[in-house]
Every structure is written in structure tokens, then in C-alpha cells.
Amino acid sequence: MYKRILVTGGAGFIGSNFVRHVLGKFEDVYIVNLDLLTYAGSLENLRDLPNKENYHFIEGDILDQDLVQRTLREFEIDSLVHFAAESHVDRSILGPSAFVQTNILGTFSLLEAARKVWIEEKKLGDGDVRFHHISTDEVYGTLAPDDPAFEETTSYAPNSPYAASKASSDHLVRSYAHTYGMPTTLTNCTNNYGPYQFPEKLIPLMILNALNGKDLPIYGDGEQIRDWLYVEDHCEAIWQVLQKGCSGESYCVGGNNQPANLEIVDTLCEILDELKPSASGKNYASQKTFVTDRPGHDRRYAMKINKINQELGWEPKHNLKDGLLKTINWYLKQEEWIEAISKKKEYQSWMDENYTERTEEEK
């Protein structure tokens, strides 16, 4: 079992959940968390970690190859789990440069550092090492209503700068496995939701806007279909692939839930109506508003999870209703976290730039 793990982007949404998941389950695993603490990463996500004595945080950039090499050597890292990424499609449309820097060049920097320390220097001798890369279903493009779901053999066809940057990083990881013998695994995952998600994404945005009496902005007609996965299930899938997955292989990870975005919003409103009725006496669904769609918005994603299920025995434990209920209950209890995140200037300026302008276009 890999026991000394370098996690990149471990102060972000999925990364922090993974850190918490692993430290809570295994007393003999040591985690080093490397994070630049950009807008979506926060030390607030890492409060009250279990098993803290087996955790170390480094504030730094994955583009700093010397720093990564020193970290791999000093902590005798035997596995690297790479979460660090720019991950919001809307941001990639307005500013693609950061996505090229972090997602492509950042992944290249990590691969080069690992190649230097693990392969050239053989710092761990001939010990078992692993580079695990977290990617997205968006590299596969979009599906028509009757198309079969994505799987590991689906051709890449990214449609946004974000998806293209992740596709590029996937290809880099595969090339290092083939060319240099780098022990790698890769997971392409569907939309995640759950605790600690930065509130620019659909589900936390809808929860917080509803509670604050704000509009619930829905792109286009709201009939875009995504496959939703509760973040704890994703963390367990990553762990299973890291420990038992075959080197050089990729695995599709999904939640077996493909509702339209509008259905997601309606379900959130129904749960909130029960748990915390609006002070106005109105249903939260009355706050829905339809705004101009994003350019090139993919219509449908769906993922087959046959391979990871049959080879590693993984499947999601949470159905959508249970996962959304747990998520809402978490946000209802996190006033301090919400306040700290909402005060970030990057968050406020982004909300004004992306949603206010879209709403005004509709008026």
C-alpha cells in the first residue's frame, strides 16, 4: 500500500475531501499537501483534520519543479495524487491562459520532477511508486440524446479551453508512462458535489443563493444533462485505483445519476423547502431565473463505470437524493466557512462578471 503521498491541490474541493478521507481511514499513511492557495483553495477546507500528526502542508506552485523535487526527496514520497487544476469551464472561456499554465504546464512540471527523482535518481531504489492523475469526463466532448455513455475507449473531443487543457494533461501522463516507464494511473470523473465545494459551481451556488434570497441563475433552458457523483464516493474510487489499479490504465468514474440541471435545481429547492423554509413564505423555486447560456455549452455527459466496478469492485454508495440531502445539511451548518469563502474578492468579482452580466442580458 502506498503510504507517503504527495497530494497537489489538497486545499481545493475534491483534494481536501481526499486528504480528510485518507487520514480518517488509515493511521499509517502520511500526506504532504502542496497547494498554491489560489481563489478555489483555502485552509478553511482543512480545519479539524483527523490524524493531524501524519499531515504536512506546503504552500507552493506545482510549476516550481525544484520545490516538487525537494518535496519528493525529503518526504520519501512513494505516490503523487494530482488534483491541482483550474476547473471551471466559465472561467476558461473568459481567461484560458491560466488553464494552459496550471493544467498543462503544471502537470508537465510534476511529471518531470517525478521522472527525475523516481526514475533517474531512483530515490526509492526500485520501490513501487505511482503517479495518479485526476481528470474529467469533459475531455470526451458532448453526447447526443441517444449516444452511448463515455467509456475508457471513447475518443477525445474537448469543446472548451478547460476540457482541452485537461485532455492535454491526460496525453502527457500517458506519454510519460509509455516513453519513460512512469508508473501512472488516470481517472476521468463526472461532476462532483458535496462539502467544501467553492460556491461558483452549480449546487453550492444554488444552495447559498436560495438561502440568501437571490436569483437562482440557470443557463439556457436548463436541460443540460450531467452525471453527478458525491465527493466521498469519488475519493474512495481514487484510493482504490491508487492502491489496486493497473499501472498505465485509465478508469472512468461516475455516479450513475444523469438528471438535467433544471431537475437538480428543483430537487435542491424541494429539500430546502423542507429543511429551512424561506422567511418570505415562498417556495425557493420561485427564485429561479433563466440566463444566457455559456458559449459552446455541452448538452449531455454520461459515464460507464463497468471497468472500475468489474476490476476493482468500486461503485458509488450515494444516490442523488441522499447525496444532495447530506450536502445541504453540511452547508446549513457551516456559517463560518461560508462567510470566510464569500469574503474572497475573487469570488465576489467573478459572480458579478459572470452572472450579473448574463442576467442583465435577459432584461
Block mean pLDDT (10 aa), the chain, length 363: 96 97 97 93 94 97 98 97 86 86 97 97 86 97 94 96 96 98 97 92 94 94 94 98 97 94 97 94 95 84 97 97 96 90 65 56 46
For residue 14, being part of any structural domain is answered with yes
Residue 91 confidence (pLDDT):
81
For residue 165, being part of any structural domain is answered with yes
For residue 28, being part of any structural domain is answered with yes
Residue 360 confidence (pLDDT):
47
Supply the DSSP string of 220-279, one letter for each residue. Answer: TTS--B--EEEHHHHHHHHHHHHHHSPTTEEEEE--S---BHHHHHHHHHHHHHHHS--T
Structural domain range at position 26? 4-193+228-254+297-318
SS3 sequence, 298-353? CCECCECCHHHHHHHCCCCCCCHHHHHHHHHHHHHCCHHHHHHHHCCHHHHHHHHH
Domain CATH code at residue 9 = 3.40.50.720
For residue 263, being part of any structural domain is answered with no
Q: Using an 8 Å Cβ cutoff, are 132 and 242 in contact? A: yes
Residue 357 confidence (pLDDT):
53
For residue 309, being part of any structural domain is answered with yes
Hey, which residues are catalytic here? 137-138, 162
Residue 356 confidence (pLDDT):
58
For residue 179, being part of any structural domain is answered with yes
For residue 274, being part of any structural domain is answered with no
For residue 284, being part of any structural domain is answered with no
